[in-house]
Amino acid sequence: MKNILCYGDSNTFGWDPDRLVRLDRDTRWPGVLRNRLGTGYHVMEEGLPGRTTVWADHSMGLMSGADYLYPCLFSHQPLDLVILMLGTNDTKPMFGVTPVDIARGMDQLMRKVASFRTEFMPEPPSMLLISPARIIDPKDRFVQMFQGADLKSAELGSRYRELAAQYGALFLDAAALVEPSPADGIHLNEASHRVLGEAVASMVADFFATR
């Protein structure tokens, strides 16, 4: 059994911008991944709306992905693969950070995963880094929340690609596959979850087929 952890934000949680509900477990991209891989794989979902790489959002509570990552790794071990998809919330102007800073934040998470060894895991898990979909024309309450974030999000693909190479991790640029729903310009809709989940499943299946 291959154990896979999906660690992300509301686009892993499955917030549906079209119907303002949480997509069901088989429709969210980790669920599509699980169903496409089939038996022999256990896919665990850890999506939290508002989660950043390392920045604390005190208006929502402590949402730093770095703060919860170690407890999460410990609780789900042993792990064969950790999939990281964060960075969208980091682009909020409230944090005042650049794409370079966001990549440095992701670097901290990848460093934690790369060094994770326990009595149950003598070797750290492999990693798949997913650069999130671009932010495009935010709507309603997201207009001010993500002001200027579209330009930052456009740079994450190249920054994350370089970062993945440094760790020898798998890399997928979600922005090359999907766009957020025009309903809010931030979140993936049902169709995009399906496309992303199928792309991740293909990459993961090919990866484990060679190991």
Query: How does pLDDT run across 34-53, given as a tens digit for each residue?
Result: 999 999 999 999 999 999 99
pLDDT score recorded for residue 63: 86
- Specify the CATH number for the domain of residue 177: 3.40.50.1110
Query: Quick one: average pLDDT of 71-79?
Result: 97
Query: Quick one: average pLDDT of 182-211?
Result: 96
pLDDT at 60 over 90: no
pLDDT score recorded for residue 32: 98
How many distinct structural domains can be found in the chain? Answer: 1
Rounded Cα gap, residues 172 and 109, in angstroms? 17
Q: Which domain holds residue 191?
A: 2-209
pLDDT at 62 over 80: no
Predicted confidence (pLDDT) per residue in 142-187, tens digit: 999 999 999 999 999 999 999 999 999 999 999 999 999 999 999 9
pLDDT score recorded for residue 17: 94
pLDDT at 57 over 90: no
Predicted confidence (pLDDT) per residue in 91-115, tens digit: 999 999 999 999 999 999 999 999 9
